[in-house]
Amino acid sequence: MKKNYVKDVFHMSEGEEITLQGWIHKIYDLGHVNFVRLRDKTGIVQLVAQKEQLAGLRNETCIKVKGVLSKNDKAIDGMEVQVKEIEVLGKVYYDKLPFDINGKKINAALETQLDHRNVSLKKPSVMAVFKIQEEIGECFRKFLKLNNFTEVHTPKILASGTEGGSELFTVNYFDHRAFLAQSPQFYKQMMVGVGFEKVFEVGHAYRAELHNTYRHLNEYVSLDAEMGFIEDENEIMDLEEGFINYLFENLRETCARELKMYNITLPEKVSIPRIPLSEAQQIVFDKYGKRSPKGDLNAEGERLFSKYVKEKYDSDFVYLTKYPLSKRPMYTMPDDEIEGASKSFDLIYKGLEITTGGQRIHDHDMLVEAIKNKGFKAEEFEFYTENFRYGMPPHGGFAIGLERLTMQILGLENIREASLLPRDMKRITP
Amino acid sequence: MKKNYVKDVFHMSEGEEITLQGWIHKIYDLGHVNFVRLRDKTGIVQLVAQKEQLAGLRNETCIKVKGVLSKNDKAIDGMEVQVKEIEVLGKVYYDKLPFDINGKKINAALETQLDHRNVSLKKPSVMAVFKIQEEIGECFRKFLKLNNFTEVHTPKILASGTEGGSELFTVNYFDHRAFLAQSPQFYKQMMVGVGFEKVFEVGHAYRAELHNTYRHLNEYVSLDAEMGFIEDENEIMDLEEGFINYLFENLRETCARELKMYNITLPEKVSIPRIPLSEAQQIVFDKYGKRSPKGDLNAEGERLFSKYVKEKYDSDFVYLTKYPLSKRPMYTMPDDEIEGASKSFDLIYKGLEITTGGQRIHDHDMLVEAIKNKGFKAEEFEFYTENFRYGMPPHGGFAIGLERLTMQILGLENIREASLLPRDMKRITP
């Protein structure tokens, strides 16, 4: 078992013995005495060793070190380890690393970094992305459990698509053709209806979209929530806003080091304006002269409108509400007041959509009508509408793309940086 | 927003007003006055209503009730609700329910119950299974986080199989043939090596096994852990034993009601005997006259040996250790002492294997040799062995099938009962 972590060094006193395990981050050869930066999960510390103690060691060799702490004002946080003994735990086998990970940044194209994820992930600033990501998942679960949600695991292998069958990957399932789930939408609604009332799922979703952009992945982690017994979609927006505030509060505490690496200051209080899509489109046109596609904003419109919201409301977030029913899935609840509008929304964060949500239709006959109105055959969705025969409460929900949220919090340029091992149109390795 | 839950009733006083939302579990028509059992996520309570207040209501109608609490010794826990107002939130649309869920047990075959999961899950004893399951996942995460593990999400779409390519589902991934992950094995090892040191994942795993038995699912949730800087496989067994104790301690607190429904008393302290496989085989032969297959126990052997362990050690669990290297995957660490044995183990719980684990090979050249010894081409595993070039610490891990563990804790007869929506050779719906 591991004895100490690097982070412990800075809570210990000069003269104390310590046993550390980790990787050689960098060796500074100063003749007889050598300095070594040792890296573990929790940080980097300086070792002081005799040259002969380092024989055969190279960057990334995995070692166990016994030593004694001593003060040194020039070392990181003022403390270093005088090495008594080094044991090699894991040898290295390379001629040259594909790129260095001990400099200020990695000097290689993103694609090269992704090809060598076994090296690029070693860099502390890259690893920091996934500390943030882990905390997002943790907070999502904690916040929803505090609100009486139940965690569920629903199947990713389906007999039919969620919304008409486009953009689905097919699986050869024994003698059948099956599909990979685009979303747990139908199942999370079903779980509300059978009596879990409020459910969430943290799981993979698959989209066979022919998009190879900075913001698309074909396999991603979806943070899904669905809540029964709601009045309207505002409760869903309240819930997500509550989550964002809970998340930021926690990240400031648990990920201070990681946020600092990326120079990120999270707002103290997030209060998200709710603006109907049609108003947003008008503003984008009036202020920036850009026309939007019918019933939506495009990527440029999302960026411009976010800029406007930031200036006017000092908010990085904005809910676009009341999307036209015609542009939303068949299960979307129509708006009570505005003809043709729906009780659905998108959440835009720093210019990028990270969430789609809304209230769903809960009445069986109304849902069957809505399916027909979309031009689908109701019989083909009986596996779904069947769930609405046994007393479905008013309900709604949302889904957040985990990688997108991570990317936006840290201001990453490409969503692939927010995935340990991204899958896109051209990449299924490593 | 929901005002009260049924469970609140039993902490409230006579005369208090209450608003409940849930489903009609059962109506008792006693003429002018009617009793209704109202069911929500947290339990069942008795409503007392006038006949006219119940007009049009049927079993499973989703309602909102306002009323006043009154004492009644004959009601559940001595309290009932005098109804003032009922509002229908979700109508029902059926002629006859596929089966009743308000009796002692569901009077239908398991396959029928699974065909109508939207009804069978409503039964409190069925829902209880998933409360237990949720707590297992929660405890797995909590326990490992307490031990400095990091949660990761690794891809389920792969370019190559984990252990030679058998029993894999294929996916049509744009222009490529890809596979669904059988396990996150290679990736969790990679994540240890890049510096997360200790990782876990709660995610789906897929096995295209041609088994249609009470204990096989083709899609299941795998609780995976992998730990760096270990001495040997005993630390992995210690870790899992620690988890089991942590889990049982928590379940007794959080799931007392659910455990009681299934008449389960969990042991106070779990101390798991570690017995070499060859000894176990000998005991099964000596005591029960049954021969085991070479290098393994079969299902019957697991049951018989568990019986022996229960009698001799009063333990529901047993680790079978030192499996022959020839029967384990290529990455398995050979034993130091016994020629041909390995540092791997299975965990058997009440007669069923719920875990495979062990120490892995961490040296690049040794791994390449092991791959060749298994008859594979080392070049075809370069994507994997490549990860061992950059300083891999000694490490090992284990995986638990979530549904199997749930099933064994509750003594369920079929693993399908421990999956919200099971996938087997014949079932990909609902």
Say if residue B175 is exposed, middle or buried (CB neighbours under 10 Å; 0-12, 13-18, 19+): exposed
Q: How many angstroms separate the CA atoms of B33 and B31, rounded?
A: 6
Residues of B in contact with A195 (CB under 8 A): 22-23, 39-41, 121-122, 127
Would you state the pLDDT for residue B270? 98
Q: Reply yes or no on domain A6-90 having CATH 3.40.50.1970.
A: no
Instruction: Report the CATH fold assignment for B124-418.
Output: BirA Bifunctional Protein; domain 2 (3.30.930)
Q: How many angstroms separate the CA atoms of B392 and B381, rounded?
A: 17
pLDDT beneath 70: ranges in chain B: 1-2, 162-166
Name residues 77-106 of chain A within 8 A of B (Cβ): 89-94, 97
Convert the pLDDT of each residue in B170-225 to its tens digit. Answer: 999 998 899 999 999 999 999 999 999 999 999 999 999 988 899 999 999 999 99
A180 Cα to chain B: minimum distance (Å): 9
Cβ contact B421–A150 (<8 Å): no
Tokens of A70: 């001593």
Q: How many angstroms separate the CA atoms of B314 and B266, rounded?
A: 13
| Alpha carbon A191 to its chain's center | 24
Sheet bearing B198-206, strands edge to edge: B150-151, B198-206, B219-228, B395-401, B352-360, B344-349, B317-321, B274-276
**Buried (b) or exposed (e) across B317-336, using 16+ Cβ within 10 A?**
bbbbbbbbbeebbbbbbbbe
Cβ contact B62–A383 (<8 Å): no
Q: How many angstroms separate the CA atoms of A419 and B5, rounded?
A: 39
Would you state the pLDDT for residue A164? 56
Cβ contact B229–A169 (<8 Å): no
The Cα diameter of chain B in Å comes to: 83
Would you state the pLDDT for residue A3? 78
Contact B351, B302 (CB under 8 A): yes
B428 Cα to chain A: minimum distance (Å): 6
A216 annotated ligand binder:
yes
Tell me the ipTM for this assembly: 0.97
Closest residue by Cα to residue B223 from B297, B149, B317: B149
Q: How many angstroms separate the CA atoms of B273 and B345, rounded?
A: 12
Would you state the pLDDT for residue A100? 97
- CB distance from B364 to chain A under 8 Å? yes
Would you state the pLDDT for residue B173? 95
Identify which of B93, B180, B383 has the shortest CB distance to residue A171. Answer: B180
Contact A55, A118 (CB under 8 A): no
Residue of A nearest to B217 (CA): A155
Q: How many angstroms separate the CA atoms of B357 and B192, rounded?
A: 16
B3 Cα to chain A: minimum distance (Å): 10
Residue of A nearest to B155 (CA): A421
Would you state the pLDDT for residue B160? 84
List every span in chain B annotated with CATH 3.30.930.10. 124-418
Q: Are strands B219-228 and B395-401 parallel, antiparallel or unpaired?
A: antiparallel
Would you state the pLDDT for residue B30? 87
- CB distance from B121 to chain A under 8 Å? yes
Cβ contact A127–B194 (<8 Å): yes
Q: What Rg do the C-alpha atoms of chain B give, in angstroms?
A: 26
Would you state the pLDDT for residue A400? 98
- CB distance from A44 to chain B under 8 Å? no
Closest residue by Cα to residue B228 from B190, B183, B202: B190
pLDDT beneath 70: ranges in chain A: 1-2, 162-166
B16 Cα to chain A: minimum distance (Å): 22
Tokens of A111: 């694609």
List every span in chain B annotated with CATH 2.40.50.140. 6-90
Would you state the pLDDT for residue A77? 80
Contact B367, B185 (CB under 8 A): no
